[in-house]
Every structure is written in structure tokens, then in C-alpha cells.
């Protein structure tokens, strides 16, 4: 299995630009999670989906952030417009409910907003 795939691995953009992060979960997994990691705030859960349906988006910092999961094999996290304080590593993780609670994390996307 290829594991969770994220793209791009690195993104550098200017303030005000739109940023789209992509995630392909492990095939067959029915949960997908988006996290943000910074030195100051640690690992924060932004939003998660079950069977492509958003369950809890209370961690999304503000309306500039949006996430979609149009099908079981693809999800996006969009930031529009981006700000320097959005600079962080964004992780996608997935899990399969019948196998317990282990979440499998992708390699992350390092976002830098200048």
C-alpha cells in the first residue's frame, strides 16, 4: 500500500494567494483528517470526514479555510486568501473504522506564506 499521499510536499506562496493542498487517503479507509502543525500550537485537528461527509470542522481557524472530499479517494484543503500566519505543516491522515483507532498520517505539506 502506498500510504497516505499528499501534494505538494512544499508550497511557497505570497500573501493573498489561494492555496490548495491535496490528499489521497489509503484505499478503503472511511475516515479522513486534516491537521496543522506549528511549533507554537503543536498538532491541531482542523476538520475530519467520515464516508466523505464532514463531521467536525470546529478546528478550522476561520472562513478563509475550506475542505472538501468529493469522493473516497481525494480531499482538498483550500486557503483563500492565504496569510503569513498560515505557514505551517499540514498533515492528512486516514483510518478505517473496523480496525480500531489508528490514524495513518501522510508526509505533510510544508506551506510558507510570504
List interacting residues with other proteins (CB under 8 A).
4, 31, 42-43, 45, 48, 50, 55-56, 91, 93, 95, 97, 101-108
Prior bond of 46 cis (ω within 30°):
no
Neighbouring-strand partners of residue 21 = 77
Least Å distance between CB 16 and other proteins? 28
Nearer to other proteins, 5 or 76 (CB): 5
Q: How many CB atoms lie within 10 A of CB 61?
A: 14
Least Å distance between CB 67 and other proteins? 15
Least Å distance between CB 34 and other proteins? 12
**What phi, psi does 86 have (nearest 5°)?**
-85, -10
Query: Strands 19-24 and 5-7: what pairing?
Result: antiparallel
Nearer to other proteins, 15 or 43 (CB): 43
Amino acid at each position: 500500500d502506498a500510504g497516505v499521499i499528499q501534494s505538494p510536499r512544499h508550497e511557497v506562496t505570497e500573501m493573498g494567494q489561494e492555496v490548495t493542498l491535496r490528499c489521497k487517503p489509503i484505499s478503503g479507509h472511511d475516515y479522513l483528517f486534516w491537521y496543522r502543525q506549528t511549533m507554537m500550537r503543536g498538532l491541531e485537528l482542523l476538520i475530519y470526514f467520515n464516508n466523505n461527509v464532514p463531521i467536525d470542522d470546529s478546528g478550522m481557524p476561520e472562513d478563509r479555510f475550506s475542505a472538501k472530499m468529493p469522493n473516497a479517494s481525494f480531499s482538498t484543503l483550500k486557503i483563500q486568501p492565504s496569510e503569513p500566519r498560515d505557514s505551517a505543516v499540514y498533515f492528512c491522515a486516514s483510518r478505517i473504522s473496523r480496525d480500531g483507532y489508528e490514524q495513518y498520517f501522510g508526509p505533510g505539506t510544508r506551506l510558507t506564506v510570504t
